[in-house]
């Protein structure tokens, strides 16, 4: 019985990899075979009013200039991360028996504000800005939900 389950699990994983490769091929490889360049693929993301520099920057940021195996690895990693998130939510809903409620787009920022601040400062410095932080006097009042008159 144990070998049957293991064989089925291995078969399922192989099938998922094959389906993911086919899906990746449809969305990323076939357009390249049809003559699409990295810039033409990126122009679909930035819109029609973007200039050439914006299109090239988007192509670089989205990784369209990277080798195909790197693009597939990045894409597969995103699929696995999304599946993990969905399975975690489903597990917790089934375990607790409570309906799902979204924690909000800023949940992780509220969970660890120091880490969020550090990431934002690093991002601004990477863009060439000098950042100097000082805490607001009213920040504690806002966290407690008090209104300022």
For residue 139, what are the domain limits?
104-149
> Both 29 and 91 in a single domain?
yes
Q: Are residues 89 and 140 in the same domain?
A: no
Q: 128 and 96: one domain?
A: no
Whether the CA torsion 51, 53, 55, 61 is positive or negative: it is: negative
Domain count for the chain, please give it.
Answer: 2
pTM of the predicted model over 0.75: no
Whole-angstrom CA distances from 19 to 10, 23, 24, 31, 148 are: 14, 6, 9, 18, 56
Tell me, yes or no, whether 85 and 149 share the same domain: no
Give pLDDT tens digits along the chain (149 positions). 889 999 999 999 999 999 999 999 999 899 988 988 888 888 888 887 888 888 888 888 889 999 999 999 999 999 999 999 999 999 999 999 999 888 888 988 899 999 999 999 998 988 888 989 888 876 555 555 444 44
120 and 145 co-located in one domain: yes
């Amino acid at each position: 019985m144990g070998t049957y389950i293991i064989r089925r699990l291995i078969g399922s994983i192989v099938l998922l990899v094959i389906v993911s490769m086919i899906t990746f091929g449809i969305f990323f490889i076939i357009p390249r075979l049809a003559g699409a360049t990295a810039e033409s693929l990126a122009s679909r993301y930035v819109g029609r009013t973007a200039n050439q520099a914006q299109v090239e920057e988007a192509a670089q940021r989205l990784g369209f200039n990277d080798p195909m195996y790197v693009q597939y690895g990045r894409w597969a990693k995103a699929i696995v991360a999304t599946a993990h998130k969905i399975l975690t939510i489903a597990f917790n809903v089934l375990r607790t028996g409570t309906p799902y409620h979204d924690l909000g787009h800023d949940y992780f920022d509220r969970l660890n504000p120091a880490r969020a601040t550090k990431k934002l400062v690093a991002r601004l410095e990477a863009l060439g800005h000098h950042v100097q932080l000082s805490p607001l006097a009213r920040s504690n009042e806002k966290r407690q939900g008090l209104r300022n008159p």
